Amino acid sequence: MIEAVAFDLDGVLIQSEEVWDELRGGYVRERGGRWDAEVQRAVMGMSSSEWSRFLHDEAGVPDAPEAINGEIVRLMLEAFRKRLPLVDGAVEAVQRLADRYRLALASSSNRVLIDAVLDIAGLTEYFQATVSSEEVAHGKPAPDVYLEAARRLGVAPTRCAAIEDSHAGIRSAKAAGMRVVAIPNPAYPPDPESLAQADVTIRSLAELTPELIDATD
């Protein structure tokens, strides 16, 4: 029986991948680095320490990884405070599932961004646990962030469902032993092999109901 649900953040509750791409891409290009489809896909799902190191080591950004991370997070916070790109139905979906399950959030975003988004959206109270991949050893597609979310909830991973949109996220949640509900991001769709690992695929948060979650068990 499913006892808890773990949401991803970027691409599931907020349509922020475009914001990440715009700001990271602009930063990398300004500093003479390489930003293309290969780099963009590589950093999706990485923790902040991983992607900032990757941009320094592999994409040719001369700044120290700590400086890269700090500046991009500052720009993201500024953008979210101007306009938070909530996905249609995000608040209602969280509230709907909070009536039935314990909720966690397992995200590749920095802790400061997670806290800011939930506060601006008025969703903080609905989550019993939130985990940033910067707080675990490895980012997605490794299972660490989802395993930690389950640990903080006090629920076995096999009793959890995860809501994901990306190839790295689906693989991460599946590797943790969770049931996976995929809502493919139309702008950054998961590859067919990753999507095939999901237990159920839906088109939007409007379809995300307790009945659907229970049916994955």
Nearest Cα to Cα of residue 108 among 25, 52, 182 = 52
Distance CA 164, CA 182 (A): 5
List the domain boundaries for the chain: 4-15+85-215, 17-82
Nearest Cα to Cα of residue 21 among 190, 189, 194, 187 = 187
First to last CA, the chain: 6
The CATH number given to 17-82 is 1.10.150
pLDDT in tens, the chain (217 residues): 999 999 999 999 999 989 999 999 999 999 999 999 999 989 987 889 999 999 999 999 999 999 999 999 999 999 999 999 999 999 999 999 999 999 999 999 999 999 999 999 999 999 999 999 999 999 999 999 999 999 999 999 999 999 999 999 999 999 999 999 999 988 889 999 999 999 999 999 999 999 999 987 7
53 membership: H or E segment, kind and range: helix 48-57
> What does DSSP say about strands 179-182 and 200-201: parallel, antiparallel, or unpaired?
parallel
Nearest Cα to Cα of residue 52 among 85, 14, 20, 7 = 20
Topology given in CATH for the domain delimited by 4-15+85-215? Rossmann fold (3.40.50)
